[in-house]
Amino acid sequence: MDYQQILNTIQEEMSYRDVTGKVASYIPELAKVDQKKFGMHVYCGDQKNFSFGDSEEKFSIQSISKVFTLAIAMRLMGEDLWDRLNVEPSGDPFNSLTQLEYESGIPRNPFINAGALVISDILLDQLDDPKQELLDFVRKITGDDDIHYDKKVASSEKSTGYRNIALVNYIKALGNIKCDVEPIVDFYFHQCSLAMSCKQLSRAFMIFANRGKILETNEKILKPKTVKRINALMQTCGFYDEAGEFSFQVGLPGKSGVGGGIVAIHPDNYSVAVWSPILNEKGNSELGMKALERFTTLTGVSVF
């Protein structure tokens, strides 16, 4: 497979001028990002790399980080985690409060904000220093220590994050939050502020394409059963109320973030990350969605 030629074709075909969405202005720091940015990186099972554009420039990964925190929580709790979270697609926007009341404070899945905040509560309850342990986990699976929180983005999220604060208070009132609200949202805003490049993200997500093992060292980090569960959730819930559309168009398990990043994997084959900050009305990268559709069409390879 000539991945580089396929990526070159995608780069030639697509431009930020072809999309009609907007950057995520509700987080002030994200509104400052150059909407012209566009990069893509493929990391293959044979450790070969292919890329174009701004693939090595770091950006705020936002909700992509929820895959990492879920993986850590599953290592800590195993199947007991699902006493506090469900595994169904939400069908609602990522920051919706509406389902919590009639579902007794149990978030529909770990990737909507309510679910990720419950995960944050679990990590705060069980880890001595969850911020550092999240960094350590991501650095380990990428083999790269140059991964950090973007303090400006974390502060920007805190200044406007009233809805997330409301979510934690509401879930706590319904009995599914143990820790204090302030440290939970502080951790959550920091995890979303993680700054990574497409190159780093594609390498990190190879753990989910390689049955829980670090590709370069063969070190087992996650159980195959855990990876199966996470990949299934990415397939069904990784794009909020556009998860079905992503499966239909792209045909890979993946996760998006409002920073404009998307990562997707093909088990035993590759991990691919794309970044374009302009979002569609569902909060997913408009150009990123199109680029990944072209990628699986041109390669002829998806999970279906």
If you write DSSP's letter for every residue of 82-115 in order, what string do you get? GGS---S---S-TT--HHHHHTTT--S-TTSHHH
* 16 marked ligand binding residue: no
Cβ pair 265, 212 in contact under 8 A: no
> Which residues have a Cβ under 8 Å from the Cβ of 221 and sit 6 or more positions away?
140, 141, 207, 212, 213, 214
Give the DSSP H or E segment for 194. Answer: strand 194-196
Cα dihedral sign for 51, 54, 55, 56? positive
Distance, CA of 153 to CA of 162 (rounded, Å) = 15
* 63 marked ligand binding residue: yes
Distance, CA of 270 to CA of 5 (rounded, Å) = 16
Q: Give the orientation angle of helix 113-126 with respect to helix 130-142, to 10 degrees.
A: 100
Q: Quickly count: other Cβ atoms within 10 Å of residue 92's Cβ.
A: 14
The token duo for 171 is 């879930």
* 170 marked ligand binding residue: no
* 258 marked ligand binding residue: yes
* 157 marked ligand binding residue: yes
Between strands 39-44 and 270-275, the pairing is antiparallel
Binding-site residue numbers are: 63, 113, 157, 164, 188, 240, 258
Binding-site residue numbers for substrate are: 63, 113, 157, 164, 188, 240, 258
